[in-house]
């Protein structure tokens, strides 16, 4: 998809605030600092529409971006931020669970995982959660430019093994620095919203 327009529509914390449209939605989830904002900005050809966070985990809202009047990206606040209180964490979990399990417009979740490291417990939980609810998932492994090409396979295997990755799911190596994986990511998203 060639993106010319992308605008934030609303930051929502509850279903009453979700936009009232039938447009398909693609949610984006990952731990803080995984490169989610950079991924969104790369896909929509912007430098900083989705803010790259200096304070990871700060945004505790679901941010809806309207893309080309064709779909919404829903930026799910990053998980795994140690400094939030337990109460906040529970609230955060409920908000996301509600959205992911009840939103009819949701077509797929892009689950971002850092290619450099083994998935965290939260990464694994997210993948298993999506599988349990039969929500289509596109795994995007970020920061591929930080790993030498010859080691990509090994890192990919580590991630897939830890997730119990299903081979029918999409796995995309991505870098917002080299733009590697951008076309593949758009293809997966476009297929999911068809
Ligand atoms: P978010 O918290 O998940 O939204 O992560 P950001 O997009 O803000 O990125 C976190 C940090 O990782 C920033 O310093 C980015 O510049 C850096 N980063 C994100 N994506 C990449 C990538 O593909 N390659 C490299 N080398 N750095 C990246």
Residue 12 inside a domain? The answer is yes
Pick from 77-81, 97-101, 110-114, 178-182: least confident: 77-81
For ligand 1, is residue 31 a contact (CB within 6 Å)?
no
From 23-32, 74-83, 161-170, 183-192, the region with the lowest mean pLDDT: 74-83
Does the beta carbon of 33 sit less than 6 angstroms from any atom of ligand 1?
yes
Q: Do residues 51 and 133 lie in contact, with contact meaning Cβ atoms separated by under 8 Å? A: no
Amino acid 57: pLDDT: 46
Burial of 65 (0-12, 13-18, 19+ CB in 10 A): buried
CB distance 59 to ligand 1 below 6 Å? no
Task: Output the average pLDDT for the chain.
Answer: 91
Query: What residues make up the domain containing 73?
Result: 6-193
Q: What is the CA(32)–ligand 1 centre distance, in A?
A: 10
pLDDT higher at 83 or 60: 60
- CB of 180 sitting under 6 A from ligand 1: no
Nearest CA to ligand 1 atom 15: 35
Here the CATH number for the domain that contains residue 21 is 3.40.50.300
| Model pLDDT for residues 1-57, shown as the tens digit of each residue | 888 888 999 999 999 999 999 999 999 999 989 999 999 999 999 887 766 544 554
Number of domains the chain is built from:
1
Structure tokens at 83: 């400094």
For atom 17 of ligand 1, the residue with the nearest CA is 35
Pairing of strands 62-67, 137-142: unpaired
33: its two tokens:
């600092």
CA distance 122 to 86: 15
What average pLDDT does the segment 130-150 reach?
Answer: 98
Order of all β-strands in the sheet with 62-67: 6-12, 62-67, 71-75, 25-30, 106-114, 137-142, 170-173
Q: Across residues 158-170, what is the average pLDDT?
A: 97
| pLDDT the model gives residue 82 | 56
Residue 1 lies in a domain: no
């Amino acid at each position: 998809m060639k993106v010319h327009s992308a605008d934030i529509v609303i930051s929502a914390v509850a279903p009453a605030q979700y936009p009232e449209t039938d447009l398909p939605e693609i949610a984006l989830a990952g731990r803080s600092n995984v490169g989610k904002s950079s991924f969104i900005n790369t896909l929509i050809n912007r430098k900083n529409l989705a803010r790259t966070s200096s304070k990871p985990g700060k945004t505790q809202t679901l941010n809806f971006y309207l893309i080309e009047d064709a779909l919404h990206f829903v930026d799910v606040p990053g998980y795994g931020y140690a400094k939030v209180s337990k109460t906040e964490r529970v609230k955060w979990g409920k908000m996301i669970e509600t959205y992911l399990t009840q939103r009819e417009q949701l077509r797929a979740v892009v689950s971002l995982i850092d290619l450099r490291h083994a998935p965290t417990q939260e990464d694994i939980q997210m993948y298993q959660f999506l599988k349990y609810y039969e929500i289509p998932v596109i795994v995007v492994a970020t920061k591929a430019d930080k790993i030498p090409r010859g080691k990509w396979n090994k890192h990919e295997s580590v991630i897939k093994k830890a997730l119990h990755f299903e081979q029918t799911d999409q796995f995309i190596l991505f870098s917002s620095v080299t733009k590697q994986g951008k076309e593949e990511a758009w293809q997966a998203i476009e297929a999911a919203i068809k």
